[in-house]
């Protein structure tokens, strides 16, 4: 992502405050507001990042390029099929999201995070809010945290 540095700053500035406020909101309202909150996240992140609401947001680790836009949904990319011009093997009209991710990460302060392994997503979380997950801290990193 070309504007990854700016996006990272914006994201780092905004995300914690969103998650912080949600922590409060969820305490007061329980799950009552989950639907509109999820819709707001889908709307905002969909507009900015073409977010697919995988429920396990990796944007800050992938150069602000959403890996779920990869037609093979690769979380540790790219695949070996990237075209010579950097376009996607499957969709020649789209820049490979992982070429964008490594490029974006190189401009970011915490860009090295892209070098860490992201284990396959939990498919039960598809369509759920990553914000709410963070707010409730139901981090289900049990698989990703296997001993290396």
Partner 1 sequence: MGAAFQNDPLVLGTNPGDPLPMLEGHVSHGRFERVLKAGHFAVTTEIAPPDSADPDEVLKRASLFDGYVDAINATDGSGAHCHMSSLAVCAILTRAGYSPILQISCRDRNRIAIQGDTLGAAALGVCNALCLSGDDVGAGDHPEAKPVFDFDSVSLIRTLRILRDESRFLSGRKLDLAPKLFIGSSINPFVPPIENRVDQLAKKIQAGAEYIQSQYCFDIEILKGFMSKAVDMGLTEKAYILIGIGVLPSAKTASWMRENVPGVHIPDAIIDRLQQAKKPKKEGRDICVELMQQVKEIEGVKGVHVMAYRQEKWVGDVVKRSGVLDGRKPWQPENSIQKSLTETS
User: Interface with partner 1 includes 102 (CB under 8 A)?
Assistant: yes
Asked whether the beta carbons of 71 and 65 are under 8 A apart, the reply is no
The DSSP result for 107-141, as a single string, is HSTTGGGGGS--PPP-GGGTTS-HHHHHHHT---T
Q: Which stretch binds partner 1 (CB under 8 A): 18-26, 27-35, 38-46, 114-122?
A: 114-122
Site for ligand SF4 in 12-41 (CB under 6 A): none
Site for ligand SF4 in 103-132 (CB under 6 A): none
Cα(36)–Cα(54) distance, integer angstroms: 17
User: Interface with partner 1 includes 107 (CB under 8 A)?
Assistant: no
Site for ligand SF4 in 66-95 (CB under 6 A): 70-72, 74, 77-79, 81-82, 88-90
Cα(23)–Cα(40) distance, integer angstroms: 16
- Report the interface residues with ligand SF4, using CB under 6 A: 70-72, 74, 77-79, 81-82, 88-90, 96-98
């Amino acid at each position: 992502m070309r504007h990854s540095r700016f996006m990272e700053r914006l994201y780092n500035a905004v995300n914690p405050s969103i998650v912080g406020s949600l922590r409060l909101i969820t305490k007061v309202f329980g799950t009552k507001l989950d639907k509109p909150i999820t819709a707001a996240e889908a709307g905002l992140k969909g507009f900015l990042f073409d977010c697919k609401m995988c429920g396990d947001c990796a944007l800050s680790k992938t150069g602000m390029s959403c890996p779920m836009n990869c037609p093979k949904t690769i979380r540790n990319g790219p695949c070996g099929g990237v075209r010579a011009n950097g376009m996607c093997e499957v969709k020649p009209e789209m820049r490979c999201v992982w070429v964008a991710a490594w490029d974006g990460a190189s401009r970011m302060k915490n860009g090295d995070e892209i070098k860490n392994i992201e284990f396959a997503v939990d498919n039960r979380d598809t369509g759920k809010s990553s914000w709410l997950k963070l707010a409730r801290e139901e981090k289900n990193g049990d698989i990703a945290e296997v001993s290396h």
